[in-house]
A and B are shown apart, each in its own frame.
Chain A
Amino acid sequence: GQQLNQSPQSMFIQEGEDVSMNCTSSSIFNTWLWYKQDPGEGPVLLIALYKAGELTSNGRLTAQFGITRKDSFLNISASIPSDVGIYFCAGSDSNYQLIWGAGTKLIIKP
């Protein structure tokens, strides 16, 4: 079946550093989504990508939909303490069901 490979699994960074994470798939998706989950809460949608090659920003976040429709990356610039959490990528097929990555846990070193 469809699978998403998300990396890295976790990241330890200093406040102010830039962060990059990515997802790859063996299948083509119509849509790529990036979510963030805070402890004790449900995932919250950060960015949605609908077109191959699309580059979209949301504040300090930037995400791109790969040309092949099989990959996406998320960058966070100048990380701050509230960026801590788990980031998930998700790919959507034509039925709008989501295939989820395993998540990237972002930890900011004190």
Chain B
Amino acid sequence: DAGVIQSPRHEVTEMGQEVTLRCKPISGHDYLFWYRQTMMRGLELLIYFNNNVPIDDSGMPEDRFSAKMPNASFSTLKIQPSEPRDSAVYFCASRVSSGGAGYTFGSGTRLTVV
């Protein structure tokens, strides 16, 4: 199994630009999570999906952030417009409902907004 695949691994963009982060969960996993990690705040849950449906987006910082899951094998997290304070590592994780509480994380996207 290839695990959770995220792209790109690194993204540097200018303030005001649109940024799209991509995630392919493990096949058969029915939960997908988007996290943000910073030194100051640690790991923060932004949003999670169950069977492609957004269940809880209360962690999304503001309207500039949006996430979609058009099918079971693909999800995007979009920031528009981006700001320097959005600089962080963004992780996607997935799990299967019958497999216990543990998630499998991707390797993350390191976003730098200048």
**Which residues of chain A have a CB within 8 Å of any CB of chain B?**
30-31, 33, 40-45, 48, 50, 88, 92, 96-98, 100, 102-103
Could you say which residues of chain A place their CB within 8 Å of the CB of B97?
96
Whole-angstrom distance between the Cβ of A50 and the nearest chain B Cβ: 7
Q: In the assembly, what is the distance between CA of A97 and CA of B101, in Å?
A: 8
Instruction: Give 13 A-B contacts (CB < 8 Å), ordered by A residue.
Output: A33-B102, A41-B108, A42-B107, A45-B102, A48-B100, A50-B101, A88-B43, A96-B95, A96-B97, A96-B101, A97-B45, A97-B48, A100-B43
**Which residues of chain B have a CB within 8 Å of any CB of chain A?**
4, 31, 42-43, 45, 48, 56, 91, 93, 95, 97, 100-108
- A48/B101 in contact, CB under 8 A: yes
- A44/B56 in contact, CB under 8 A: no
- A98/B108 in contact, CB under 8 A: no
Could you say which residues of chain B place their CB within 8 Å of the CB of A50?
100-101
Q: In the assembly, what is the distance between CA of A61 and CA of B101, in Å?
A: 19
Whole-angstrom distance between the Cβ of A83 and the nearest chain B Cβ: 19
Q: Which 5 A-B pairs have the closest CB atoms?
A: A42-B105, A92-B101, A31-B101, A45-B102, A100-B43
- B42/A103 in contact, CB under 8 A: yes
Whole-angstrom distance between the Cβ of B65 and the nearest chain A Cβ: 18
Option from B4, B45, B104 in Cβ contact (under 8 Å) with A98: B45
- A30/B101 in contact, CB under 8 A: yes
Could you say which residues of chain B place their CB within 8 Å of the CB of A48?
100-102
Could you say which residues of chain B place their CB within 8 Å of the CB of A88?
43
Q: In the assembly, what is the distance between CA of A41 and CA of B106, in Å?
A: 8
Could you say which residues of chain B place their CB within 8 Å of the CB of A31?
100-101
- B91/A42 in contact, CB under 8 A: yes
